[in-house]
Amino acid sequence: MKYTYLKCIKDGIRITDNYRAGQGIQIMKQKLVLKLVLLGDPGVGKTSLISQFVHAKFRNSYQLTVGLDISSKLIKLNDGRTVTLSINDIGGQARFAAIRHMFFKGAHLAMFVFDVTRAETLRNIVDPWHKELMEFCSQPDSTRSAIQTILVGNKTDLEDYRMVEDDEGEALAKKIGAQGYISASAKENLQVDEAFKRLAQSFFDQVRT
């Protein structure tokens, strides 16, 4: 049975990420799974944000993400809805650029992450990160014409070393059409849940409107 996307959300029916644009939604196992990709320069803290969000752990040492790491978490949104986030941690190194677009397939959500102590990582959100995602979305065989995005400035605990202000983050979020900007600290667990939940919530808000 196929539902329209809007009807599905309105009826509170759980869906999988098998949704295909223009083809309705397939309902399987009554479980809604949203695929989320994290994008940003190496060392900005993508893995740390996921580790804090999923496992409530923070590691001081840095381990390079090779290609892709996937984890998932069931979350409850403010409106009481539950959703499983399938979180795809994509390696930020340039050498993974050639294969990165493969991981965008089927994504509903994208979180752009930069390091507030390195201004360069904010500039790189526009190009390559946002540019790559937009290029993927505009491809004819893309599964989605629009992915809900959010911009996250990580490492706000390093206040003395901070080189990017919140208003710069907010301005960039607006420029790239993201749902908003959140300054967070994976180390101190500040605004981490908020960032993931706000992004997931924006998916349903978009459907409603």
Partner 1 sequence: MDIDTSYLDQFPTYVFSEIIGKWQNTSIKLEPNGLLSAENLEKTQNILESLSSNRLNHLQKLAGILTLTNVWWQVYQLSNPLSLSKIRLRPRTIDLVKLLPNDASKITAKFSVIDLCEHALLLVIEFSSRTRSLRDNYRFIYLPSINKILLEMKPLAEPLLKEELLPYLSSTPEKVSSKPIRARLIKKLAISPDDPQHRLNISFLKIRISLETSGIEGLQHIIIEGENVIRGVETLEQRHEISLKFMDSGPWVGVGTTDFHIEIQKGVKIHQLETDTFMRLNTVLNWY
- Please report, to the nearest 10 degrees, the dihedral formed by the alpha carbons of residues 183, 186, 192, 196 taken in order: 100
Helix (H, G, I), strand (E, B) or coil at 56: coil
- The reply on whether position 127 binds partner 1 by CB under 8 A is no
How many residues contact partner 1, by CB under 8 A?
21
- Binding partner 1 (rule: CB under 8 A), the pick from 8, 48, 133, 192 is 48
DSSP state of 156: T
Least distance to partner 1, CB of residue 46, Å: 11
Least distance to partner 1, CB of residue 166, Å: 12
- The reply on whether position 160 binds partner 1 by CB under 8 A is yes
What span, in angstroms and rounded, lies between the C-alpha atoms of 164 and 93? Answer: 22
Contact, 24 vs 5, CB < 8 A? yes
- The reply on whether position 117 binds partner 1 by CB under 8 A is yes
Burial class (CB in 10 A: 0-12, 13-18, 19+), 120: exposed
- The reply on whether position 185 binds partner 1 by CB under 8 A is no
- Binding partner 1 (rule: CB under 8 A), the pick from 33, 155, 195, 198 is 155
In terms of Cα–Cα distance, which of 142, 136, 102, 110 is closest to 40?
A: 110
Residues 6+ apart with CB under 8 A from 9: 204, 207, 208
Strands 25-26 and 2-3: antiparallel
- The reply on whether position 61 binds partner 1 by CB under 8 A is yes
In terms of Cα–Cα distance, which of 7, 36, 15 is closest to 198?
A: 36
Q: Which of 130/187 has CB closer to partner 1?
A: 187
Q: Select the span of 28-36, 58-66, 106-114, 201-209 touching partner 1 (CB under 8 A).
A: 58-66
Least distance to partner 1, CB of residue 165, Å: 8
- Binding partner 1 (rule: CB under 8 A), the pick from 100, 118, 130, 198 is 118
**Contacts to partner 1 by CB under 8 A:** 43, 45, 48, 60-64, 115, 117-120, 155, 158-163, 165
